[in-house]
Structure 1
Amino acid sequence: MRLSPRGVFALLVTASIGLLATGLLVGELARLHPCHLCNLQRLYYLMLGFFALCGVLLPGWRRLWCVLVGLTALGGVIAAVQQSWMQYVPQESIECGFGDPTLAEQLINWLGTQWPAMFMVTGFCTDKEWIFLGFTLANWSVGCFLGLLGVAVWLGFRRDVA
């Protein structure tokens, strides 16, 4: 069975929104405190889902949507790797939110005022509040974003579709 581009994009929408919902559920159940980088990753999952939804609705522009999904996933990888690094060597890193806010921190702070349930910053990027099988939530997010990036690259270079 071969999946059409529309079907792959639908799976990407489902995966990105499912991962976001899972992260929110784990955060609520474990009473986690999201940081700037956590919330930035949430934004990347939302954007990725949006671009993938565009691919479902307009599959003729497959390569454009694959590039946008891929770049968004790459941004998510970078944010999750940065947070993972901060968690493992907190003495080497400068905590998010201290000093002059970066553009990403300003965006997350603004989003926190618009949609507090999703983007309110209440924690620190260096905290390892939740560990499953030896990996933090940020570590798991690296793997998830890499998987989503891999699917976008595969779909973008697939030759058996128009």
Structure 2
Amino acid sequence: MPIHTRFAFAILAAVSFALATSAVLLADLMHLPAPCTLCILQRFIFLVFCFWAVCGVVIPGARHFWCVLLALTAACGLAAAGWQSWMEYAPDQVTECGFGEPALYEQLVNWLGAQWPSLFMVTGFCTQQDWYFLGLSLANWSILFFLGLLLAALLVFFMRK
């Protein structure tokens, strides 16, 4: 039984929105320290993914276009989560975010924090490991979730109409 294109995009939108929301709620419920730049960037990428998926619901005829944007967005999230995981496991080999001239992603996160501080304000450190579940940090879980979203976007891209 084929999955309707709009339904597939709606599922992707719901999942990515739930992931962004759960990151905020988990931090609040578990009383975790404030998020770092890369944590905030990953939240933002989940929301951008959600936006592209909603666009796919509204305009399903451009399925391939939306799927390419979804895959690229998930790949960016995968890179951000991978970089943070590297920073957590080798903190002595990296320079902490926020030191020196801010990179483009740091400027974006700082701008988002100025617009909506309750969701995007950065005060934590990227090398800090605060919480583990089944032996994986939040950054490690983000890698798995972004990989799943990337594979799902590719599946929707190649599914029959």
Per-residue CA deviations over 1:76-125 (Å, capped at 9, x if unaligned) read: 00000000000001001110001110010011001100000111001000
Q: TM-score, normalized by length of structure 2?
A: 0.97
User: Is it true that 1:133 corresponds to 2:134 in the alignment?
Assistant: yes
Matching of residues 21-32 of structure 1 within 5 Å: 21-32=21-32
**Distance across 2 between alignment mates of 1:28 and 1:97:** 23
Report deviation, 1:18: 0.5
Q: Could you list the runs of 4 or more consecutive aligned residues of structure 1 that deviate by over 2 angstroms after TM superposition?
A: none
Matched residue, 1:107: 108
Matched residue, 1:91: 92
Q: Tell me, what secondary structure is at the counterpart of 1:31? A: coil
**Distance across 2 between alignment mates of 1:13 and 1:57:** 12
**Distance across 2 between alignment mates of 1:125 and 1:110:** 18
Report deviation, 1:48: 0.2
**Equivalenced residues, count:** 160
Matching of residues 9-88 of structure 1 within 5 Å: 9-32=9-32, 33-88=34-89
Q: Percent identity?
A: 52
Aligned CA-pair RMSD: 0.7
**Distance across 1 between alignment mates of 2:93 and 2:29:** 30
Q: TM-score, normalized by length of structure 1?
A: 0.97
Report deviation, 1:2: 2.5
Mind listing any 5+ residue stretches in structure 2 that lack a counterpart? none
Mind listing any 5+ residue stretches in structure 1 that lack a counterpart? none
Per-residue CA deviations over 1:103-156 (Å, capped at 9, x if unaligned) read: 100110011000001110010000000111100000000000000000101111
